[in-house]
Amino acid sequence: MNNDKKARRRHQRICEVLQEQEHMQVLELCELFHVSPATIRNDLTVLEKKQLLKRIPGGAVSIGRMPQNTIFTARESQHMDLKIKMADYAVEHLIKEGMSIALDAGTTCYAIAKRLADASLRCTVITYSLPVANALVHCEQVEVFLMAGRLDKQHESFHDDVAVEAMKRMNSDLFFLSPNGIDAHAGITSSATDENIMKLLMHEHAEETIVCADHSKFFKKAFKTICPLSDIQGILSDSELRAEIQQKYSDMGVRLYLAKK
């Protein structure tokens, strides 16, 4: 295959990766395509001129796409089938009898709560999410602690000073953390600026933290870092996560739990 044809195929694949992952670093693209940084930078320049991506320091993002903390009802319908599979995996393999579980206001955590309501596990759930609490309100085997204050009606969660003070007094065995993006360098990131304090407190007050992120959230970098990858005990994702990404994170020492289709 001549160099022009290789470049065209690489350009097409870069665009596909950015549509799926939204953000990539130059070095990550070098690893993915086994070419030099100079080659990737030239590729990104060509693609930016064609308005197929936007260059940023150290990498590129897909045009018009940035991880956002959209309203709860909009997020709930995104990748719903994957969230259900991940919730099944969490309840069947990660949550043990008698555990205290912290669930944030992410829609995957909501799926976990709904799955817990149908299970026979006796456990305790700590949350600041109204939908999570509502999903468990009739579940006798699950004790629920709702960190409540002023309700954020758009995101259906509590994260004001009253909720923060309540969370400071709670501890859990396992925290399921829902981010907006996972980046090899930035770590676990979120664009939910008001809610981040609750996520951070749940992480700090948990014995272990498992990040819940379907394959679309990898190589995304949102506004704020919640914690580095070294601070978590694993990532719960789905089997659509590409093999090269699985290998990359495994090489970094990150344990992956993959829910099958």
Q: Place 3 in a pLDDT band, splitting at 50, 70 and 90.
A: confident
Fold of 71-258: Rossmann fold (3.40.50)
Return the pLDDT at 66: 47
CB-CB contact of 22 with 37 (8 Å): no
Return the pLDDT at 79: 61
Q: What is the mean pLDDT of residues 151-166?
A: 93
Q: What is the mean pLDDT of residues 122-132?
A: 97
Return the pLDDT at 97: 96
pLDDT higher than threshold 70 for residue 134? yes
Beta-bridged to residue 259, according to DSSP, are 238
Return the pLDDT at 221: 79
Residue 234, judged by CB atoms within 10 A of its CB (0-12, 13-18, 19+), counts as middle
Average pLDDT, the chain: 89
Q: Place 115 in a pLDDT band, splitting at 50, 70 and 90.
A: very high
- The percentage of residues in the chain with a pLDDT greater than 70, rounded to a whole number, is 91
pLDDT higher than threshold 80 for residue 76? no
Q: Place 169 in a pLDDT band, splitting at 50, 70 and 90.
A: very high
List the chain domain ranges: 1-62, 71-258
pLDDT higher than threshold 50 for residue 70? no
Tokens of 95: 């949550």
The end-to-end CA distance of the chain, in Å, is: 36
CB-CB contact of 205 with 172 (8 Å): yes
Q: Do the domains spanning 1-62 and 71-258 agree at the CATH topology level?
A: no
CB-CB contact of 157 with 177 (8 Å): no
Return the pLDDT at 214: 92
Place of tokens 């065995």: 173
pLDDT higher than threshold 60 for residue 65? no
Question: Which of 11-15, 59-63, 150-154 is least confident?
Answer: 59-63
Place of tokens 């709930």: 76
CB-CB contact of 137 with 144 (8 Å): yes
Q: What is the mean pLDDT of residues 150-159?
A: 91
Fold of 1-62: Arc Repressor Mutant, subunit A (1.10.10)
| Angle made by CA atoms 79, 94, 244, in degrees to the nearest 5 | 55
137: Cα separation from own chain's centroid? 26
Return the pLDDT at 213: 94
* Cα gap 147→162, rounded to integer Å: 8
- The percentage of residues in the chain with a pLDDT greater than 90, rounded to a whole number, is 63
Q: What is the mean pLDDT of residues 111-122?
A: 94
Q: What is the pLDDT of residues 15-55, one digit of tens each?
A: 878 876 667 889 989 988 999 999 999 999 998 888 888 88
Q: What is the pLDDT of residues 217-255, one digit of tens each?
A: 898 877 789 999 999 999 999 999 999 999 999 999 999
Residue 14 vs residues 30, 157, 168: alpha-carbon distances, Å = 11, 37, 44
